[in-house]
Amino acid sequence: MKTSHTVSHTTHVCTDLAELCKWLELPETVLRDGQKAADELPLFVPLSFLRRMERGNPKDPLLLQILPQNVELQSIAEFTTDPVGEGSRAPNEILRKYPGRALILTTSECGVNCRFCFRRHFLPPNTDLSLDPIREAKDVHEVILSGGDPLCLTNQELMNLLYELSLIPHIRRIRIHSRLPIVDPERVDGKLINILGTFLPLYLVLHVNHQNELDEEVLKRIESLIDIGVPVMSQTVLLRGVNDDLETLQRLFEKLVDSRILPYYLHQLDRVAGSAHFEVLPEIGRHLVAELHSRMPGYAVPRYVREVAGESCKVPFC
């Protein structure tokens, strides 16, 4: 599918592959090798994230995550448009994947188009969201806001949703999963901080794949949320060419814990069509995690997991 964007918070973005190549001083071959893939899933990256990439380096680990490459167009049987079995659209935008929890697909908008996103082929969800299924499900105690990216909602939309959820007696926790504070830290402004601080207990789970994503501005904004009592965790996808070596992962997880961000999950790549070039073999992942445990305290090493369609929880790699 081609993803359209109307993200009000991401006003300074690059959407043209030729402009990206010019900005980063990349060779002409990069442009030629990505044009068809950009037609399938458009380039969309905030300039804030772009500025953290190394000029002249087509293998920059941040660039690889957002760069269209025609290798994405290869058809590989094991890589499908719905690798975790969610369906192309979720009924009422609400999924019951795990006991005691409900997941709301709040929006189809994202602050960045990651080339490995497992929802890259999904249709936009129905905008007429009803919370009645959650109100009626007395066994649901935690609500997870996902998307797209829930922080692409306007402040008013986000506040209204959090308020409605706070009125449901059996909901004890709200969790927001977002990449936007990483790729576009200006989203974490005073207004958002006030909103999130109003609806505690609320947890924020960030998507971070490389230490170079965590510049001074990003960490300053995130720490402003931690300072008001919002617990912040992180999730990382193991990606070939981006973070599939011991030193890179160790530097990332140490930087996170030094900033009071708890590494939560290290995900095996979901086998979504177009992402096969990112896959790391599970035996390599297991070795990396074992080595991390020998070097770092246990709380600094995330659980290495995969998502299996139909399972009631993330499946750990032992």
Q: Which tens digits make up the pLDDT trace of 23-40? A: 999 999 999 999 999 999
The pLDDT, as a whole number, for residue 248 is 98
The pLDDT, as a whole number, for residue 8 is 42
**Per-residue confidence at 95, pLDDT binned at 50, 70, 90?**
confident
The pLDDT, as a whole number, for residue 123 is 61
The pLDDT, as a whole number, for residue 302 is 97
CA of residue 46 relative to chain centroid, distance: 15
The pLDDT, as a whole number, for residue 5 is 45
pLDDT exceeds cutoff 90 at 90: no
pLDDT exceeds cutoff 70 at 10: no
d(CA 317, CA 2): 34
Residues sharing a CB contact under 8 Å with residue 21, sequence separation 6 or more, in sequence order: 27, 28, 30, 31
| Structural domains of the chain, with CATH | 13-73 (no CATH), 91-316 (3.20.20.70)
Average pLDDT in the 280-306 region? Answer: 97
* Average predicted confidence (pLDDT) for the chain: 91
pLDDT exceeds cutoff 80 at 242: yes
Out of 124-133, 141-150, 202-211, least confident range: 124-133
Write the Ramachandran bin of 229: left for phi over 0, alpha for psi from -120 to 50, otherwise beta. left
The pLDDT, as a whole number, for residue 3 is 45
What is the Rg, in whole angstroms, of the alpha carbon atoms belonging to the chain?
Answer: 19
Average pLDDT in the 59-84 region? Answer: 93
d(CA 106, CA 126): 9
Q: Which tens digits make up the pLDDT trace of 168-207? A: 999 999 999 999 999 999 999 999 999 999 998 999 999 9
The identity of residue 23, as a single letter, is W
CB 200 within 8 A of CB 236: no
pLDDT exceeds cutoff 60 at 92: no
**Per-residue confidence at 310, pLDDT binned at 50, 70, 90?**
low
The pLDDT, as a whole number, for residue 126 is 56
pLDDT exceeds cutoff 50 at 290: yes
